[in-house]
Amino acid sequence: MHFTSENRLDDGVLEREFTLGEIPGILWTPRSASAPTPLILIGLPPLGLRTVYARVAARARYYATEYGFAAATVELPGSGERPRWDAAEQARADLRRVMAAGEPVTAEIVDALILPLVDRAVPEWRATLDALLALPEIGGPVGYEGGVISIGVRLAAVEPRIAAANLFAGTFVPGAIAEEARRVTVPLQVLLQWDDEGNDRQASLDLFDALGSEEKTLHANMGGHAGVPHFELDAGARFFARHLK
Amino acid sequence: MHFTSENRLDDGVLEREFTLGEIPGILWTPRSASAPTPLILIGLPPLGLRTVYARVAARARYYATEYGFAAATVELPGSGERPRWDAAEQARADLRRVMAAGEPVTAEIVDALILPLVDRAVPEWRATLDALLALPEIGGPVGYEGGVISIGVRLAAVEPRIAAANLFAGTFVPGAIAEEARRVTVPLQVLLQWDDEGNDRQASLDLFDALGSEEKTLHANMGGHAGVPHFELDAGARFFARHLK
């Protein structure tokens, strides 16, 4: 992990860009940490870190200033400046084509779109976690939030250092991931936008039902994909505060 | 409204029992209120105030000490020491009979059980609100929480002084109430126990969908009717704190 920039923000939060191999990311740490801090991994949507930077940085700074958590994010494989691969481009083109034609999004398209992304992103998150937890100022426990829900489900199922996850049921979920959901046991909060234009409500409720965790809470709010209410930021932070002790 | 007892509790909260005509109730007010306080009306389940006193008083004292809210509750018609009426006793007997036989709970039984209770309880809540808001230490705005969800839906639909409601989707809902739900416009939080043994999950999701409010959030948690997690108390208080300014 190489830090490539360092910026002390006006709220005292230290923002550092880094690369881990070819993967760019950002780490935010609170002004003064008397002890190693818990860490929130912020999963991104596949839009590129530069596109969503303002929103993600605001979340990270809120966690740091209000709760004393560190937070980090990394660019997804195939997003932002990272190289595309042919199968992913093909899957995206297929998705655009059926949606433009008003045709149903088949399980084949969802699998082709999501599964290779999960297969690449989860090991990258685990390597990122190795590097972050090696820093003296980061202690854990570790929470995961946001992003492509299938990545969060797989990561929570296979990575024992994830102690709690706040997921967003806002993207297509392959059947294989719904099966993996049964193996998740950590406390969960799941956000659902009731009228998400790109997401099937019943499929999201079924995924929530399938998740194996004994403590899981669904927060369903009105509106479309981009309409998650601002108060859910603090609700998520308080969820993490209960579990990242 | 006649106060029949007054007790300063060890957290400084003043607990006063009262009667309003034949209706017994309790009012809790914070230790020191520099200005008239917001008010939470706590709806009861039909189990009798004495049976649920400990849990309700704990909620009221939390609101008073942590958020400076007053809180009040009244005994439901036909609960506790209040007189029964024949039709309600008959409806309860019918419900017990079909549930013991493993037969479906028909719409007729639900209507007979719930609608007369709503017809009686809602005017009583409105009269209670008149009396409470006449006290100099109670200023409003007013929130409603808990209890039989059909009472909360009707009260929120018809009583303009209710500014926000935190409802519990934990009891049968008549079709007529699901229609009235469309007329509710205040901010809502709705609790749902995912595996509520006495309540149909899909019916609760349909009721949530039907509620007319632009801001409504569903909090679904694992477990049965009595298993609402403790952290939902603070989540409810924070919901009220956002809206009862």
Structural domains in chain B, sorted by start: 2-82+121-243 (3.40.50.1820)
Q: How confident is the model at residue B78 (pLDDT cuts 50, 70, 90)?
A: very high
Q: How far is CA B52 from the centre of its chain?
A: 12
CB contact under 8 A, B221 and A221: no
- In angstroms, the CA B128 to CA A142 distance is 48
- In angstroms, the CA B218 to CA A58 distance is 25
Q: How confident is the model at residue A125 (pLDDT cuts 50, 70, 90)?
A: very high
CB contact under 8 A, A219 and B218: yes
Q: How confident is the model at residue B152 (pLDDT cuts 50, 70, 90)?
A: very high
Nearest CA in chain A to B212: A222
Segment A50-70 shows an average pLDDT of 96
> Chain A within 8 Å of B215 (Cβ-Cβ)?
yes
CB contact under 8 A, B218 and A220: yes
Looking at residue B245, its pLDDT comes to 81
> Chain B within 8 Å of A208 (Cβ-Cβ)?
yes
Q: How confident is the model at residue B165 (pLDDT cuts 50, 70, 90)?
A: very high
For A154, what's the count of Cα atoms within 13 Å in the CB-facing half-sphere?
A: 24
Sign of CA dihedral B113, B116, B120, B126: positive
Q: How many CB pairs under 8 A join A and B?
A: 44
Residues contacting B192, CB < 8 A, separation 6+: B169, B170, B201, B204, B205, B208, B218, B219, B220, B221
Q: How confident is the model at residue B200 (pLDDT cuts 50, 70, 90)?
A: confident
A-chain residues near B218 (CB < 8 A): 194, 218-221
CB contact under 8 A, B234 and A238: yes
Q: How confident is the model at residue B34 (pLDDT cuts 50, 70, 90)?
A: confident
Q: How confident is the model at residue B239 (pLDDT cuts 50, 70, 90)?
A: very high
Residue to mutate among B182, B190, B211, B218, with most A CBs inside 10 A, is B218
Q: How confident is the model at residue B93 (pLDDT cuts 50, 70, 90)?
A: very high
B-chain residues near A214 (CB < 8 A): 222
CB-closest option in B213, B219, B234 to A217: B219
% of chain B surpassing 90 pLDDT: 89
> Chain B within 8 Å of A218 (Cβ-Cβ)?
yes
Mean of per-residue pLDDT scores for chain B: 95
Residue B198 has pLDDT above 80, yes or no: no
For A79, what's the count of Cα atoms within 13 Å in the CB-facing half-sphere?
A: 22
Calculate ∠ Cα B119-B121-B122, nearest 5°. 75
Segment A118-122 shows an average pLDDT of 97
Residue A159 has pLDDT above 90, yes or no: yes
Q: How confident is the model at residue B171 (pLDDT cuts 50, 70, 90)?
A: confident
